[in-house]
Amino acid sequence: MKIFYYHIIFISILFSSCINSKKKVQEVNLYTQRHYSVDKKQFENFTNLTGIKVNVVKSNADELIERIKNEAKNCPADIFISVDAGKLYKAKKQNLLKKLNYSDFNFKLKDVLLDKDSCWIPLTYRARVIVFSKDRVSRDELSTYEDLSSSKWKNRLLIRSSSNSYNQAFLSSVIAHKGIENSLLWARGVVNNFARSPKGNDRDQVKAIYAGEGDLALINTYYLGLLLNSDKEEEVNAGKSVDIFFPNQNNDSGVHVNISGAGILKNSPNYDNALKLLNYLISGDAQKLYCNSSYEFPVNNDIQFNNLMQNWGTFLIDSIDLNLLGVYRDEAIKIFDKSGWK
Ligand code: FE
């Protein structure tokens, strides 16, 4: 009788531990705008380390923000990741992001990339710079972003369309520095200098320089890293045909930068796991992987640039409040329309 009794207890313990372990599937859910293969590797490494499964939904930032709003309390997402501080600002403005405690993060991050309201964590940063044909442009002809509207670049300038968020964030930074009137004049000058109607992505602008369609372009540096390390010979050659110039360096505002960054959502169902994942993504190992795989700059102060980035040289970055990249977004789009920047 006693043995039978213990047997029942044993079975019921076993049964309840099965139910508990079923409840305890550890996961974290991301809504992300990022489309880079390095991310998959980062999440795999995190899962191997912690056992926490990472579920990913990819889409553009505006669609993800709409989805988070519509799903409201039923939203399964813990983290919203964007490649634009302007979109993080937008999510924050719509009251979707939780206020973070920066002291919950174990690594020293570049101050200038943080949010004054503590609503995001930067994961990488990107610099939007001038690239120029090594054959047809000399470095000393280049100086500032403002100078790209000068008539000396007539029919020589390549840049992607104004619907792209990198360009919208960039023009928002111009507005923050120069005001609306001057920014419209600048955009008109730039449109006058277009070598062709805007098309393609940042990589395509470098390929167009290589093909002789234009002489200089505005791109994010990591795309040059990707071209130079491509397994397609044509892409490597295109990358080699250009050089990088960091504008606005001499007692000036510095290079426009933007972040890939993450916010934790107000209704995050797996908050602790979300914190763990973000802490992992800013750790040394993950930051080195971003650096060496997608050629984005590390936000963790302890991590050095890789060799390619070191060859590009150090540069002064624009230290405006990154929220302004969202604040001036509507004005930037109006200026693009008025200037005829397609
Ligand atoms: Fe990109």
Dist. CA 253 → ligand 1 center (Å): 23
Amino acid 2: pLDDT: 53
Dist. CA 16 → ligand 1 center (Å): 48
How many domains, in total, are found in the chain?
2
Dist. CA 86 → ligand 1 center (Å): 15
Amino acid 17: pLDDT: 47
Which of these, 292, 297, 321, 277, lies nearest to 43 by C-alpha position? Answer: 277
Tell whether 208 and 104 lie within a shared domain.
no
Tell whether 136 and 234 lie within a shared domain.
yes
Tell whether 141 and 55 lie within a shared domain.
no
| Torsion 241-309-217-36 (CA) sign | positive
What is the distance between the alpha carbons of residues 109 and 111, in angstroms, rounded to a whole number?
A: 6
Token output for 195: 């070598």
Tell whether 271 and 141 lie within a shared domain.
no
Tell whether 218 and 238 lie within a shared domain.
yes
The Cα-based distances of 109 to 3, 56, 112, 133, 252 in angstroms read 60, 25, 9, 35, 24
Tell whether 271 and 144 lie within a shared domain.
no
Tell whether 210 and 334 lie within a shared domain.
yes
What pLDDT tens digit does each residue of the chain (342 aa) get? 555 555 554 445 444 444 444 557 899 999 999 999 999 999 999 999 999 999 999 999 999 999 999 999 999 999 999 999 999 999 999 999 999 999 999 999 999 999 999 999 999 999 999 999 999 999 999 999 999 999 999 999 999 999 999 999 999 999 999 999 999 999 999 999 999 999 999 999 999 999 999 999 999 999 999 999 999 999 999 999 999 999 999 999 999 999 999 999 999 999 999 999 999 999 999 999 999 999 999 999 999 999 999 999 999 999 999 999 999 999 999 999 999 999
Dist. CA 26 → ligand 1 center (Å): 30
Dist. CA 245 → ligand 1 center (Å): 19
Expressed as residue numbers, the domain containing 305 is 2-125+259-311
Tell whether 96 and 131 lie within a shared domain.
no
Tell whether 201 and 332 lie within a shared domain.
yes
Tell whether 98 and 27 lie within a shared domain.
yes
Dist. CA 5 → ligand 1 center (Å): 64
Dist. CA 125 → ligand 1 center (Å): 11
Tell whether 73 and 144 lie within a shared domain.
no
Dist. CA 44 → ligand 1 center (Å): 21
Dist. CA 134 → ligand 1 center (Å): 24
Which of these, 209, 116, 112, 196, lies nearest to 161 by C-alpha position? Answer: 196
Tell whether 265 and 293 lie within a shared domain.
yes
Question: Quick one: residue 268, left, alpha or beta (phi over 0 = left, psi -120 to 50 = alpha)?
Answer: beta
Instruction: Yes or no: say if 31 and 81 are a contact pair by the CB < 8 Å rule.
Output: yes
Dist. CA 91 → ligand 1 center (Å): 20
User: What pTM did the predictor assign?
Assistant: 0.91
Dist. CA 9 → ligand 1 center (Å): 58
Beta bridge partners of 109: 300
Q: What CATH number does residue 131 fall under?
A: 3.40.190.10
Amino acid 18: pLDDT: 45
